[in-house]
């Protein structure tokens, strides 16, 4: 998907915008160049449901603080760190980095994922697949974590805005 196409799909939208999403992304593996599968593994995700927000302030920060409050924790203790990479395009869910565009979205449901290495394989068959771990202290100790993903627009195969 091109940036202009994404802009057109989301033009004149305000507040939370929900959409269905299918992606194919490259998987970075552990082991560097010694890993013979490096650069050959992709992850195909279908049927994910996510949303973005148009407007002021950080939706991520707002969602984390609301979650902390729901869990009876002090939301004022959560301090959001600045983005590690890229520049947010003000008032939009888009991020620009090294002449590429990305969309930052929040998952409602993650859909179904399969790994591909010269054809479909299981994640157990992939050498060096990184294990995602989340610290209990992250997001101010929020138990139900806010899931945020930033996808390169190049990796999006289907983007269907829901009304």
Which of the residues in the chain have pLDDT under 50? none
**Integer Cα distance of 57 and 60 in angstroms:** 9
Tell me what pLDDT residue 134 has: 60
Q: What is the pTM of this model?
A: 0.79
Residues in the chain, overall count: 163
32 by Cβ neighbours in 10 Å (0-12 / 13-18 / 19+) ranks as exposed
Both tokens of 24, joined, read 């194919």
Tell me what pLDDT residue 137 has: 66
Tell me what pLDDT residue 125 has: 76
Using one digit for the tens of pLDDT, what is the confidence trace for 79-123?
A: 888 888 999 888 888 999 999 999 999 988 889 999 888 777 777
Tell me what pLDDT residue 105 has: 92
């Amino acid at each position: 998907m091109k940036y202009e196409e994404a802009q057109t799909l989301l033009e004149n939208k305000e507040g939370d915008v929900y959409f269905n999403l299918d992606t194919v992304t490259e998987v970075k593996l552990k082991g560097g160049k010694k890993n013979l599968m490096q650069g050959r593994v992709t992850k195909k995700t279908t049927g994910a449901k996510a949303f973005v927000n148009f407007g002021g302030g950080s939706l991520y920060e707002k969602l984390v603080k609301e979650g902390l409050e729901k869990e009876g924790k002090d939301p004022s203790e959560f301090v959001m760190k600045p983005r590690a990479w890229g520049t947010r395009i003000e008032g939009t869910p888009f991020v620009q980095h090294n002449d590429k565009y990305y969309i930052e979205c929040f998952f409602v449901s993650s859909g179904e994922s399969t790994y591909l290495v010269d054809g479909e394989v299981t994640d157990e068959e992939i050498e060096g697949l990184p294990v995602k771990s989340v610290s209990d202290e992250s997001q101010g100790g929020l138990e139900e974590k806010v899931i945020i993903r930033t996808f390169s627009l190049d990796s999006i195969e289907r983007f269907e805005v829901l009304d």
